[in-house]
Chain A
Amino acid sequence: MIQFTLWDIVSHLLIGMGWTVGLSFAAFILGSTAGMVMLFARISPNPLLRQLAKIYIEFFQGTPLLMQLFLLFFGLALMGIDISALATALIGLTLFTSAYLAEIWRGCVESLPFGQWEASASLAMNRWQQMRYVIIPQAVRISLPPTVGFSVQVVKGTAVTSIIGFMEITKTGTMIANATFKPMLVYGLVAIGYFLICFPLSAFARRVERRSYATYMR
């Protein structure tokens, strides 16, 4: 039987943590891009597009991430596509992220007074120009705190991908825990790993929220 030193455990977990960070980052970037597309669809003047986007968002917000991953994994397999755990995790998290971000951003856009649309329309701007020059710049400012806040949910969401076999920190932890019979220590370290990633993001989200609130009050 192999003996694990504390350092062995930690170094393996750090590798897993690297995958967690990488997956979170990639899913957040891709998810933001897809989310932007969904946002435009969700607030489009075309009712069909709006409806489709609404169904998309409601599906991903109304079902467990784990089920989404299972469906993706087995659904693609049915179509004869063999897909790795990493690819499943990345696609699944991207879709999940895009739905939530689209909804968060829609809230921000709709919180702007309707007068902003009217004023820009009265200046003969078309819809694209209104978005580009008037609505988006204002919406971005209010959307920063909830968007950063949601990135914490993405990081935590990556833990679920351990269930479909992706070797991020939780999966690594499970394997080490089984090998060492020290689940308390190992899962404690895993939790600390997540905390080290998530706490700075949460703290940053709170700070920008306070700051934007302060500018708003001025």
Chain B
Amino acid sequence: MAYQFSFEAIASNWELLARGVALTVVLTAIGSFVGIIIGTVGAVSRAWTLPLLSQVFTVYIECVRNTPFLVQLYFIFFGLPALGVKLNGWEASVLTMVINLGAYSTEIIRAGVMSIPKGLLEAAESLAMNRWQALRYVVLRPALKNVWPALCSQIVIVMLGSSVCSQIAAQELTYAANLIQTQTFRAFEIYLTSTLLYLMLAVLVRKCLNQIGMRFIERRKA
């Protein structure tokens, strides 16, 4: 029972890990950015019950929410080539992240849009704004502000979930850890290290998102 912990193997492979961390961050960033754009479109079409578009979004959301990320990933990576859509591991991972965050942010942002008091909309109307102007200038920012914390939590959850992208050889953090593990056989040490890296990432990403929220959504001068 005298196991000798050794982190030397990890230290010598730090570049692989750093690259893995960077790719996990990039994956999350793309997923969040595009996902929030999709989510905004989806939220508005659902809140205004735009014909067709709102139904499409309802089906999309239910499909994403009720199946595991891993299965979506496999379906896109292994299954889509049958339809002639061949994506590499990285592309499939990005696509799955976008699809997921798009669905979750649609639900979250919709709740934000619904939380805007009716009086604000009437005030905008009484100032002769049309519905797009009211949405853009009056509804969207307070709505996003109200749900930003929920959106941040969801982004962190999806980021952690992206560790399964290693299974289709997307070279993010877990992939790097697996690679080092097979080369060094220091399984516990490497997984402990990468777990702690994820923990740090979760904290940092949350901090960054809070900053972004304050900068771009709150945008207070005082």
A positions within 8 Å CB-CB of B: 58-59, 61-68, 70-71, 74-75, 77-80, 152, 155-160, 162-163, 170, 173-174, 177, 182-185, 187-188, 190-191, 194-195, 198-199, 202
Contact = CB atoms under 8 A, between A and B. Distances in A.
Contacts of B208: none
A183 B195 contact: no
A146 to B, nearest CB: 12
A77 B75 CA distance: 33
Smallest CB-CB A-B distances: 8 pairs = A159-B68, A183-B78, A198-B66, A64-B163, A184-B79, A62-B202, A184-B82, A156-B68
Contacts of B66: 152, 194-195, 198-199, 202
19 contacts: A64-B163, A64-B164, A64-B198, A66-B174, A67-B174, A67-B191, A68-B195, A71-B188, A71-B192, A159-B69, A177-B74, A177-B78, A184-B79, A184-B83, A188-B75, A190-B74, A191-B72, A198-B65, A199-B62
A190 B81 CA distance: 17
A183 B79 contact: yes
Interface of B: 1, 3, 62-63, 65-72, 74-75, 78-83, 156, 160-164, 166-167, 174, 187-188, 191-192, 194-195, 198-199, 202-203
A170 B67 CA distance: 11
Given A64-B174, A183-B82, A194 B68 contact: yes
A68 B74 CA distance: 21
Contacts of A194: 66-68, 71
A68 B192 CA distance: 9
Q: Which of A59, A159, A194 has the most chain B CB atoms inside 10 A of its CB?
A: A159
Contacts of B78: 177, 183-184, 187
A70 B191 contact: yes
Nearest to A70: B191
Contacts of A159: 68-71
Nearest to A177: B78
A180 to B, nearest CB: 12
